[in-house]
Amino acid sequence: MKKIGFIVQFLCLALFSFGQSAGDGIRFIEGEKWENVLKMAQEQDKYIFMDCYTSWCGPCKALAKDIFTRKDVGDFFNANFINVKYDMEKGVGKDLYKHYKSNIIGFPTLLLINKEGKVVHQMAGFQEANVLIDGMKAGMEGKSLFAYKDRYAAGERELAFLKDYVVALQGAFLKDDIENIVLDYMKTIPVEKLQEKEIWDFVGAYIKDPYSPQFDYVIFNIDRLANKVKFDRYSVERQLGWALERAVDQVVEVKFDKDGTPLRLVDAAGKVDTLLRLIDRGNLKRAETLRAKIRIYELELAQKWNEIYECQMMYRGIKALGFSDRYLEETAQYLAAYCPDKAVIEKYLTLIEKLQQEEDKGSSKLRSYYYGTLSVLHAKLGNAAKAKEFKKMDEKIKAEKAKEFESFLKKSN
């Protein structure tokens, strides 16, 4: 009886698969036992297309509503695959998630699985109809992500192959792998090759390391490149500017240990020289901000405490450090840790107290709070009671913000 029951069930599934009408979108088998699905794939000699989703996933719902229901998508998938879908947090889906966890980088993940149960191709995230069809068609034809991975490991490096490999990685949302491949490729070509449009289109968006020869070449030859490659100069200059700003911040920004104590700045003279040379040559937006940060950093290294305050006030006056006083706070906390001149600490304390008084007059939830920094400065000057008072106020504000964030997350879900 058990055998007859299984045969009936299997035939029903098979008829469900074969009896799909064109134009209805993908007709999925949902929540079926995995061994039954594998038997269907073996019987029909087909790949299995698996939609790995969760009930809370927005892109999963968008795929189900806008892509899987399309006629062109349904025609292709219904003709070529056994189509199944599983909620990865329920029933059979929980076991399948454990089994295929290494292939599921997020939701939705879309897997192409052979009749032996091995993943041969994967995609992730919301995909437009043509991208989804082309991606799974490539996987079915042996141009899968894993086939490309094996070819790359074997040493294949032709540009046409790398472009196809990157497309497969994009479909799987493996951004880090893409960047590593492009960066490795750039190391193999002369920088002058960046003048060739095909190569620029492949690598241009990944030129973000100010210490690389490619970055140096672009910033010093941007006029020639813009003329030959015909790229959007504004976008490229913005890309270079952001990369320089990140690099400057990595060198000059104050870092803190787990207890909130500022760590001593490290002398990175070689990097600073490189960054200043690029900033001066690039004529990019926010160049004055980057020069200002580097100047204050150099004064901190030299322990010229009075000059730090005077320099920072000058830059604040011309808004060179932006409209936020976060950088001012970091400098004040650094000086509280390492500056022996209490007169300089007093200057920062007076300024930051004034800033907090101005913030306290407002009612906006977006106002700034300097209580933590005020606590540190008062402690440095020996004002224990004031330091304790501001520390409590800082802890209270942080607790309120944490509660607000927790409430926001609950509403979002």
pLDDT for the residue numbered 412? 61
Res 247 pLDDT > 70: yes
The answer to whether residues 262 and 338 touch, using CB atoms and an 8 Å cutoff, is: yes
Give the pLDDT band of residue 281 (cuts 50, 70, 90): confident
User: What pLDDT score does 270 carry?
Assistant: 92
Q: What is the mean pLDDT of residues 277-297?
A: 90
Let me know whether 11 and 96 are in one domain.
yes
Q: Are residues 26 and 123 in the same domain?
A: yes
Picking from 142, 172, 197, the residue at the C-terminal end of a domain is: 142
| Residue where a domain terminates, one of 84, 118, 142 | 142
Q: Which two tokens stand for residue 100?
A: 């295929």
Query: What pLDDT digit, counting tens, does each position of 109-118 carry?
Result: 999 999 999 9
User: The domain spanning residue 25 has which CATH number?
Assistant: 3.40.30.10
246 in a domain, yes or no? no
According to the model, what pLDDT value does residue 3 have? 45
CA distance from start to end of the chain: 46
Looking at residue 413, what is its pLDDT?
A: 54
Residues 138, 39 share a domain: yes
User: Does a structural domain hold residue 223?
Assistant: no
Percent of the chain with pLDDT over 90: 76
Asked whether residue 326 carries a pLDDT value surpassing 80, the answer given is yes
State the DSSP H helix or E strand holding residue 330, giving kind and residue range, or none if neither: helix 326-338
Give the helix/strand (H/E) hosting 240.
helix 233-252
Question: Which pLDDT does position 222 carry in this prediction?
Answer: 93
How many Cα atoms within 13 Å fall on the side-chain side of residue 103? Answer: 23
Where residue 346 falls among pLDDT bands split at 50, 70, 90? Answer: very high
Confidence of residue 12 (pLDDT cuts 50, 70, 90): very low
Mean pLDDT of the chain: 90
Query: Token pair of 117, please?
Result: 């149960």
Burial (0-12, 13-18, 19+ Cβ within 10 Å), 308: buried
Q: What are the CA-CA distances from residue 40 to residues 36, 47, 319 (Å)?
A: 6, 10, 68
353 pLDDT more than 80? yes
8 Å CB contact between 237 and 245: no
24 and 137 fall within a common domain:
yes
pLDDT (mean) for 242-255: 94
State how far the Cα of 74 lies from the Cα of 68, in Å rounded to an integer: 7
- Given 188, 219, 246, the domain boundary residue is 188
At residue 367 the predicted structure's pLDDT band, cuts being 50, 70 and 90, is confident
How large is the average pLDDT for residues 4-33?
59
